[in-house]
Amino acid sequence: MAFGPHLLLAVLEGLVTAAVLSLTALGLSLVFGVMRIVNVAHGEFFMLGAVLAWAVANALGGHPALGFVAALVIAPLIVGAVAWLAERLVLSRLGYNPESTIVATIGLLYIIQQLALTFYGPEARPVAPPFNVRLSLPWFGYSAYKLSIIATAALLLIATWLVLTRTKIGLTMRATQYDSETAQAFGIPVGRVYAGVFALGAMLAALAAVLIVPISQAHYLMGQDPLLLSFIVVIIGGLGSLRGTVVAAVLIGVSDGVVSMFFSPTLAKMIATLAVALVLVFRPQGLFGTTAR
């Protein structure tokens, strides 16, 4: 393959990464934006989504599309319920103190990881994609499913944006984010909003995982990279900003795709992580300006 098509392939792969990453990072960003806490277990919600997708598809059998669609609905719901429970039982009792919640979510990370290892096992298992169509481009064939990931993620992002800006739920969330005490005084059930946001954040990660699991298998340690990359995206995009998150996800996803196609993936990850740590040190408000209050 010549350089041009090679680059195109790298960009396409990067866009698939970016699509999944923007959903995952948006979940992390919402939780941070509204609740002011860092959820270290976010990557494990992603992993749980993928593992449950395998379990659902496996239990149903039949046509792959049936299992996949069922997984797309059931896995996020279960993950959301787990997150809701964790929020009610643990985080709410900590008063959302930043350091205690970090320690508690680290604990949650280990618990989910170990349960996945115990009940799902150490193997990596694939889920069959809902359809197997290859689009033949002039230079190489490309999986139509991967392109549909990008489209689905875009739709989900738009849906989230509409919910946040156009509905009563979104208004309640933004009011809580802006000033939780005043919101409480105006009769908004802040505790329930927090639980809902935490569950929603986890569900976005689970959705992203269900989308990606047909092309990269489900494994109990798969949550680590999305967590780190989501941190990177959220920091570069500016905490709590939806637009910034998407822009940063595309930036990171595509550059990761390109760099790891032409250089070593380890080197790519090293450089990206170092760059972001330095951004955080020298420009804590992120590259796209929205300051975290």
Partner 1 sequence: MSGGDKPAKVYALHLAVLAVLFTLNFVLPAYYHGLMARIMVLAVFAMGYNVLFGYAGLLSLGHAMFFAAGMYGTGLTIVHFGFSVPLAFVGGIACGAVLAFVIGLLALRTSGVAFMIVTMMFAQVFALSLIYFAGWTGGDQGLVIPQPARILNLGAAAFDLTDPTVRYMTALALFAAALFATLALVRSRHGRVLVAIRENEERTKMLGYDTFANKLAAVTVSGTISAAAGAAFALLFGYVGANFAGVQYSILPLLWVLLGGAATTLGPLLGTLVMYVVTDTASSFTSAWLLIVGVVLILLVLFFPKGILGTLRARWLGWLP
Judged by the rule CB under 8 A, the positions of this chain that interact with partner 1 are 38, 90, 93-94, 98-100, 102-104, 106-111, 113-115, 117-118, 224, 228, 231, 235, 264, 266-267, 269-270, 273-274, 276-278, 280-282, 284
Tokens of 154: 């875009």
Q: How far is the CB of 83 from partner 1 (least distance, A)?
A: 15
Closer to partner 1 by Cβ: residue 133 or 274: 274
Q: How far is the CB of 63 from partner 1 (least distance, A)?
A: 36
Using CA atoms, how far residue 138 sits from 9, 10, 42, 260, 270, in Å, is: 12, 16, 40, 23, 34
Closer to partner 1 by Cβ: residue 24 or 160: 24
Tokens of 94: 């900590």
Count of Cβ atoms closer than 10 Å to residue 225 Cβ: 13
Closer to partner 1 by Cβ: residue 185 or 277: 277
Closer to partner 1 by Cβ: residue 224 or 290: 224
Q: How far is the CB of 120 from partner 1 (least distance, A)?
A: 13
Closer to partner 1 by Cβ: residue 57 or 268: 268
Spatial distance between the Cα atoms of 28 and 22, rounded to a whole number of angstroms: 10
Spatial distance between the Cα atoms of 167 and 222, rounded to a whole number of angstroms: 34
Spatial distance between the Cα atoms of 209 and 159, rounded to a whole number of angstroms: 18
Spatial distance between the Cα atoms of 58 and 65, rounded to a whole number of angstroms: 12
Tokens of 115: 């349960």
Closer to partner 1 by Cβ: residue 126 or 265: 265
Q: How far is the CB of 98 from partner 1 (least distance, A)?
A: 5
What is the sign, positive or negative, of the torsion defined by CA atoms of 115, 30, 260, 147?
positive
Q: How far is the CB of 32 from partner 1 (least distance, A)?
A: 8
Q: DSSP secondary structure string, 53-103?
A: HHHHHHHH-SSHHHHHHHHHHHHHHHHHHHHHHHHHHTGGGGTT-HHHHHH
Q: How far is the CB of 40 from partner 1 (least distance, A)?
A: 8
- In sequence order, what are the beta bridge partners of 125? 218
Q: How far is the CB of 284 from partner 1 (least distance, A)?
A: 6
Count of Cβ atoms closer than 10 Å to residue 118 Cβ: 9
Q: Kindly report the backbone phi and psi dihedral angles of residue 133, in degrees, each rounded to the nearest multiple of 5, phi listed first.
A: -120, 135
Reference 32, options 133, 125, 101, 119; nearest CA is 101
Q: How far is the CB of 281 from partner 1 (least distance, A)?
A: 5
Closer to partner 1 by Cβ: residue 45 or 68: 45
Closer to partner 1 by Cβ: residue 103 or 162: 103
